[in-house]
Structure formats: C-alpha cells, structure tokens
C-alpha cells in the first residue's frame, strides 16, 4: 500500500517538481489517488507525453493502484492559475 507522502516524495524527486499535491480518495486504503504536479519537465510536452512521464515514474506503484488521476502543469501554467 502506498501513502500520499510516499507518492509526493517520489514525484518531487523524480520530476524535479516545485509543487505536488497528492490526495488519497480511497479512505486510506491506497487504491485511488489524484495528483497535481507542477514541474518544468513538462515544458513543451503535450498532455499525453506528460502523463506518460508520470506513469513511467510510478510504473511499479500503478500496478497496485486501481484509480489514478493526474493534472500536470508547468510552473508558468501553475502561476497563471494562482
């Protein structure tokens, strides 16, 4: 079972993310997560390429996570939303 903290730490480390929000939507059983990731590694990449990058980072974890939704933003996009 994976925790919000574990996923957040891994995504920050692997994607040089400046901001990560991980929400366990499965009442703590670790089966369903939604994430917001802000990283300059997404710069110039279309949405599908961004999601593939995240999925490759969490390849092992996604074998046991049943539902995973992600929002991927560049630092510029994130600042524009704030």
- Answer whether 0.85 is exceeded by the pTM: yes
Tell me how far apart the alpha carbons of residues 13 and 79 are, in angstroms, rounded to a whole number. Answer: 21
- Could you give the domains of the chain? 4-81 (3.30.300.90)
Tell me how far apart the alpha carbons of residues 45 and 64 are, in angstroms, rounded to a whole number. Answer: 27
pLDDT digits (tens, 9 = 90+) for 2-60: 999 999 999 999 999 999 999 999 987 889 999 999 999 999 999 999 999 999 999 99
Average pLDDT over residues 64-82: 96
């Amino acid at each position: 079972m994976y925790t919000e903290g574990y996923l957040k730490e891994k995504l920050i480390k692997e994607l040089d993310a400046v901001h990560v929000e991980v929400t366990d939507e499965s009442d703590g059983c670790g089966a369903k997560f939604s994430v917001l990731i802000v990283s300059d590694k997404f710069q110039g990449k279309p949405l599908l390429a961004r999601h593939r990058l995240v999925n490759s980072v969490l390849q092992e974890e996604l074998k046991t996570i049943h539902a995973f939704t992600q929002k991927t933003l560049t630092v510029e996009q994130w600042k524009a939303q704030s």
